[in-house]
Amino acid sequence: MQNFQRGDLVNAGWAPTGGVLLILNIRSHTLKLTSLLYDVTNTGSGGVRARLTGPSDYEGTIAASYDLDAPPYLFLGIYHGTQGIATFGVNAAQTRFFQVPVSIESVEYSTAIENELRYQFAVKGNSRAGFLVYPPLGVP
């Protein structure tokens, strides 16, 4: 039960709708899974907050170094408004990941002194692009 993973070896990927999954050379990634909560507090809940869960949602970001030989908008299909599947890795062997159907909400390009040109794209859940799949257990 001590199977921790180095973050610098965990990847992320992107496949535009109808495209092939491409593993990205990333700097970081985040994934947030949420549910809409409805407040149904009433006198029967004894003064304690009561909630019903509503639709699930998810959002995340993937940050990477910008490669002038393979711009993300040209070779990877990464531009705002595109829908597809994003993968968020959880192990260094790159065999376990969340598979998340998304739309790209925004793409941000940035640079700084003593740093390379980078891009980051924000994604939000889109059930029209597929199904959320959790990483399996028991895979090396």
pLDDT digits (tens, 9 = 90+) for 26-83: 999 999 999 999 999 999 999 899 999 999 999 999 999 998 888 899 888 999 999 9
Helix locations, 34-140, DSSP H: 72-75
- The answer to whether position 139 is within a domain reads no
- The answer to whether position 140 is within a domain reads no
- The answer to whether position 135 is within a domain reads no
What local confidence, expressed as pLDDT, does residue 114 receive? 84
Of the pLDDT bands very low, low, confident and very high (cuts 50, 70, 90), residue 131 is very high
Q: Are 100 and 31 in contact (CB under 8 A)?
A: yes
- The answer to whether position 17 is within a domain reads yes
Question: Residue 36 belongs to what domain range?
Answer: 7-129
How many separate domains does the chain show? 1
- The answer to whether position 102 is within a domain reads yes
CATH number at residue 104: 2.40.10
pTM of the full structure: 0.86
